[in-house]
Amino acid sequence: MSDIRYCPFQIIWIIEMFIVYRSGKLEIMRESWPPEHVETGYDDTPNVQKSRPAHAPFEHPMQIVGDVRSRLSRTGDDGKFLVVEVNAGEYTFSQQAKDALYYCAGWKRKRMSYARWKSDRHYAGKR
């Protein structure tokens, strides 16, 4: 979960996982999740009992999918355009889809509304 930076490429990948999320096939989602580095355990350290993880294996992917869905819900129709274009395999996005993608990108959620963010972003670009 700490590897997710919410860059545009990761947002697109997470949207692709929506299909898996909707189908309920969580084992596919876990298999496609980037693997974590696991130590082999062959060293001279004493045998230490390992604790169980605090969360189920599917919780982190579901939290990230939920976060991206929440971000997309703030974008309205533009977010729907983005989801449709990603699911269609089109990666030359329309302007509406690009706006939604860039609004959803970033580690922190945007505090301002989507409409305000869009107007500020386009205004700043004309300077």
Identify the weakest region by mean pLDDT among 3-7, 23-27, 67-71, 98-102: 23-27
| pLDDT tens-digit map of 2-17 | 678 888 999 998 888 8
Tokens 């386009």 belong to residue: 122
**Residue 40 confidence class, pLDDT cut points 50, 70, 90:** low
**Residue 107 confidence class, pLDDT cut points 50, 70, 90:** confident
Contact 79, 118 (CB under 8 A): no
Instruction: Measure the CA–CA gap between 48 and 35, rounded to whole angstroms.
Output: 24
Q: pTM, whole model, 2 decimals?
A: 0.70
Residue 85, pLDDT score: 93
Two structure tokens written together for 48: 């230490």
- List all residues 6 or more positions away from 20 whose beta carbon is below 8 Å from its beta carbon: 26, 28, 29, 32
Instruction: Measure the CA–CA gap between 78 and 76, rounded to whole angstroms.
Output: 6
- Runs of H (alpha helix) within the chain: 8-23, 26-32, 59-73, 77-87, 95-104, 114-125
> Over the chain, what is the mean pLDDT?
78
Tokens 């509406």 belong to residue: 96
Instruction: Measure the CA–CA gap between 101 and 71, rounded to whole angstroms.
Output: 10
| pLDDT tens-digit map of 92-104 | 899 999 999 999 9
